Chains A and B, each alone.
Chain A
């Protein structure tokens, strides 16, 4: 029942988008190469499903994002914990972070090619740039937001050294905020697959879109966009379920 209640708004939204799309096609009599009708895109999608090609693209994109996102988490969480806990360390690291943060993942494409060539590493590097900062910033604010009284309670309940205080109080207390960072980062990483797969990819949803543009198959472009959108919502809802587990309702 809840599944229906949750998915229904997305179903309505999809119908509305397709209706507007169809209306634009009908009223502007757009050329099929400029704006294909929904029916054509649907047909292309079904063909890609039957041939299995779409799954290859999804798997390629998803594994890149997961690899980059996991790498970001491994580096950004410990760094963020240290920055949130030690003011002096934050004062040194934060300016560096702030200087790099405004640089879009797109801007890293040339360097990614120069450094890593057209290998998988270059693509993962670009998504890494997109996922790193949301995790880092949320971890820092999570640690800083830990109620001081909980830290004191930990200290008088046997967490007498910094490490046990971290493990037993600070980390669990900042977990909900860190999870939000994971969720936002997966979103930004997923959105960055286009940028990543512009770097000489042979597969992936970004490749599907770039390739569709080159061979003037806008139906392929539309399918790629739609799949990115729908999968993005699905992944985000998985994160929502996980974060509910950490929502202790304070």
Chain B
């Protein structure tokens, strides 16, 4: 199983839109119709303020949400429901607390029908990739936040999905742990070349990791900037190239922020 070339697929989004209805019956446009083509193996970061629809796109790709309009396709197939072929890394880890770490990592393999011996070998291999080989028999509650997220990353790569969706995976971690995990993620990605969609609040994180950064803005959620990052890995925060990309992204975000403030102050004065 490990000998086979890791699989990866392209993502194609056409006129994808999502409108929620609030409790008062008011329609909220969470996602303005979006078109997006992501080639196989690309690492895409989605950045933007809360409510810009970046998590909505991720949840539609995972199959958790059904869009109100348009279509999202993976490898030419429309997305209908959650699938083991599209792995997800959640912000709050989502490890199964009743299973020890190695059984968590082997969970998906067991569902795929991989035998016990083989799945334990694969799980052990991915655990050592993220440096958790000594914690295989521990319960998730015995691990720190950073270690839990490393286990979750091992779990998602172990089943060899075509695409990996990551929803602010490092958002709850301290700066140093975050740096370590970013580094490990890049290492695994460079080895397996999966298509990754990575949602984050941090512009720096987006530029550090992704080879393409999509900047989203709210009300309604839409893509305001599609910025390829052509810097070689490993990247340095302090280089001019890095700073230029950050500035480009912040300019778009700041313009949007100014508009939002403007709207809010106008709204207040008319009260």
Q: Which residues of A does B touch, CB under 8 Å?
A: 147, 149-150, 152-153, 155-160, 164, 168-169, 172-173, 175, 246, 248-250
Contacts and interface: CB of A to CB of B under 8 A. Distances in A.
Interface in B49-90: 62-64, 81-84, 86-88, 90
Given A173-B98, A248-B141, A158 B111 contact: yes
A220 B62 CA distance: 67
Interface centre among B92, B96, B142 (most CB of A within 10 A): B96
Contact of B98 (A147, A153, A157, A172): A172
A248 B64 CA distance: 27
B62 A152 contact: yes
A156 B62 CA distance: 8
Contact of B96 (A150, A158, A246, A249): A150
Nearest to B96: A150
Contacts of B62: 152, 156
Interface of B: 62-64, 81-84, 86-88, 90, 92, 94-98, 107-108, 110-112, 139-142, 155, 159
Contacts of A169: 96
The 8 A-B residue pairs with the shortest CB-CB distance in the complex, in nearest-first order: A158-B111, A155-B82, A249-B141, A157-B108, A153-B94, A158-B84, A248-B97, A149-B94
A160 B84 CA distance: 8
Nearest to A152: B64
11 contacts: A147-B94, A152-B62, A153-B90, A153-B95, A153-B96, A156-B82, A156-B84, A158-B111, A248-B97, A248-B139, A249-B141
Nearest to A147: B94
A149 B92 contact: yes
Contacts of B98: 172-173, 175, 246, 248
Contact of B84 (A150, A157, A173, A175): A157
A160 B81 contact: yes
Nearest to A155: B82
| Most central of B94, B95, B140 by chain A CB within 10 Å | B94
Contacts of A172: 96, 98
Contacts of B83: 156, 160
B88 A156 contact: yes
A160 B97 CA distance: 20
Nearest to A158: B111
Nearest to B92: A149
Given A152-B62, A152-B90, A169-B96, A157 B107 contact: yes
A172 B100 CA distance: 13
Nearest to A250: B97
A102 B38 CA distance: 60
Contacts of B139: 248-249
Nearest to A149: B94
Given A152-B82, A173-B97, 20 more contacts: A147-B94, A149-B92, A149-B94, A152-B88, A152-B94, A153-B88, A153-B94, A155-B63, A156-B86, A156-B88, A158-B84, A158-B112, A159-B111, A160-B83, A175-B98, A248-B97, A248-B139, A249-B141, A250-B97, A250-B141
